[in-house]
Amino acid sequence: MSNATMNGEAHGNAGYAKRNWTLGILSIALIIIGLDVTVLNVAIPTLQAELNASASGLQWIVNAYILVFAGVLLTMGTLGDRFGRRLAFQAGLVIFGLASVAAAFADSTSQLIIARAAQGIGGALIMPSTLSVIVDVFPREERAKAIGIWAGVAAIGIPGGMIAGGFLLENFFWGSVFLLNVPVVVAALVGSLLFVPESRDPNAKSIDWIGAVISMVSLSSLIYAIIEAPEKGWLSAVTLGGFALAIAFGALFVWYEKRQAHPMVDLNLFKNARLSASVGAIGIAFMAMLGMMFMLTQYLQFVQGYSPLDTGYRLVPMAMGFMVGTPTSAILVSKFNSRTVMTGGMLLVAASVGSMSLLDVETTYWLTGSLIFVMGLGMANTMAPATDAVMAAVPEAKAGVGSALNDTVRQIGGALGVGIFGSVLSSIYASGMAGAVAGLPQGVADAASNQIGAALQVAGTLEGEAGGRLAVAARHAFVDGTSTVYIIAGILAFVGMVLVWRFMPKYDLVAGSEEAEREIAESSGLRRTTELATVTATIDE
């Protein structure tokens, strides 16, 4: 008896003949999601000059996308389940493509921020749809490998954004970093018409709009507070107010959803140890990885002097680690189990991030590149089985919600990594610069103590040996800060490894097994003794 049958669902696309083409189309589309998170890292100086953007404006050009994307993910996943995942995927592509064109030809900072927010809406429709379609078209025994490929291709966007951004900015106008999305969108749209079948929840009820609004307010407030905290302070009124609003609406969401006959998110799913352990691993892994990437890109550019394009090339080992790790993770899971592979993956993440504390001003790239590769390898062996486990623990008809939950945790974890680790780095860096900026004008001293890029700019304006001394001090202060943060991130990843080993079930959900059928039945709400007895009797037959 299949999971779908037991849950009263119809998944006629499982084993779809063109499923490998489907995976290719979905994975290609996913690249632009990751790419647009990193591509602006290399474009900020150009945008500041071309649009005369303020520091706050630059921050929101980057963050508007992340804020909207994370805030509406759960709602967009629900809409995909209700109205059709291919439809959601195609609508997201259209919105994303049009927003990219608008961003490319924006005349002001405010126009670009609005376009970036629209990209966030498009991305929130695209990303959960890709994973839920994979769940629909691949049979259970092939799904882990497919999700591994999906995760590996998504990782290409991390260095790809910086490489593409650096190349385009060196050869074309600044808007080309956004126009890069357009041919990908067109190709994905055409491919979706040819190779992506439609699917939806056959038992979908009316949309829980109240729950959707509450979740959007809670998630958006949380991400906003995390984004603002490094600049305004973790104890500022803005930050504390954002966290308070997120907690209040989060509690309201839990209270409201538990009282609905057809909630947007069945909170009872979190009683499933498989889902909770996997979601926790995803959040912690992305917190460590994106926090590391945030510091590493600055280290390579400001401390070791690489250009943005050269920095992008030097992040390629991350994608290589994913490309090696994702296919092997499925093989390892079949030989051992998800818990063992995820534990090993988290150990590699902890070891690689913790070892980055050894990097200094003179470190040769072979060591840095090796650690980046190991980080990618560890992330692949964590993310692929964890994502597969999350989707296995969610009823297949609710794949869009499950995918959105997976993606939301990734975004929150990444934002926390950048926000918290960035704040720790800033504090240590400022403390280390106190003596070096003594004697400089107050405004100049404040700028140099706030950010290494500003310190190097100031150093370039000073005459004689003063500039050299300031630059050396800034580089060493930055390395001191990153060393401490890498140790903290490594410990966090190690704690995540222990939690996975402790709480992740030892067995995997093998299609057709009694344990798998029973667990999914419980996750689907079939909790009454008589219903479980019926399920067990059917399996026995």
The pLDDT of residue 534 is above 70:
no
pLDDT given for residue 511 in this prediction: 42
The segment with the largest mean pLDDT, out of 312-321, 343-352, 441-450, is 343-352
The pLDDT of residue 508 is above 80:
no
The pLDDT of residue 424 is above 80:
yes
- C-beta separation of 479 from 299 below 8 A: yes
The pLDDT of residue 401 is above 70:
no
pLDDT given for residue 56 in this prediction: 61
CB atoms near residue 514 (< 10 Å): 13
Higher-pLDDT residue of 15, 134: 134
Mean pLDDT of 52-77: 75
The pLDDT of residue 396 is above 70:
no
- Are the folds of 17-200 and 272-509 the same? yes
In this prediction the pTM is 0.75
The pLDDT of residue 46 is above 90:
no
Higher-pLDDT residue of 47, 421: 421
Mean pLDDT of 279-300: 84
Higher-pLDDT residue of 467, 484: 484
Confidence of residue 486 (pLDDT cuts 50, 70, 90): very high
Let me know how long the chain is. Answer: 541
pLDDT given for residue 530 in this prediction: 36
Mean pLDDT of 492-505: 90
What is the tens place of the pLDDT at every residue in 237-257?
888 998 999 999 989 988 888
**CA-angle at 174, arms to 171 and 177, nearest 5°:** 85
Rounded Cα gap, residues 68 and 65, in angstroms:
6
pLDDT given for residue 418 in this prediction: 75
Mean pLDDT of 434-445: 80
Share the mean pLDDT of the chain: 79
pLDDT given for residue 244 in this prediction: 94
Rounded Cα gap, residues 305 and 362, in angstroms:
11
| CATH class of the 17-200 domain in this structure | mainly alpha
What is the tens place of the pLDDT at every residue in 180-205?
889 989 999 999 998 888 877 666 66
pLDDT given for residue 259 in this prediction: 81
What is the tens place of the pLDDT at every residue in 137-146?
888 777 777 8
- C-beta separation of 372 from 507 below 8 A: no
pLDDT given for residue 172 in this prediction: 85
What is the tens place of the pLDDT at every residue in 464-477?
787 888 888 889 99
| Helix ranges, 393-464 (H) | 399-432, 442-450, 452-461
Confidence of residue 90 (pLDDT cuts 50, 70, 90): very high
Residue 528 DSSP class = S
- C-beta separation of 478 from 429 below 8 A: yes
Mean pLDDT of 448-465: 80
Confidence of residue 14 (pLDDT cuts 50, 70, 90): low
For the chain, what are the domain ranges? 17-200, 208-263, 272-509, 511-541
Cα–Cα distances in angstroms (integers) from residue 465 to residues 365, 433, 459, in the given order: 28, 17, 10
pLDDT given for residue 219 in this prediction: 80
Confidence of residue 5 (pLDDT cuts 50, 70, 90): very low
The pLDDT of residue 152 is above 50:
yes
Residue with tokens 């954004």: 161
Rounded Cα gap, residues 488 and 495, in angstroms:
11
What is the tens place of the pLDDT at every residue in 293-330?
878 888 888 888 887 778 878 888 888 888 888 778 87
pLDDT given for residue 515 in this prediction: 58
Which tokens go with 154? Answer: 């998504």
pLDDT given for residue 540 in this prediction: 42
Q: What kind of fold does domain 272-509 have according to CATH?
A: Growth Hormone; Chain: A; (1.20.1250)
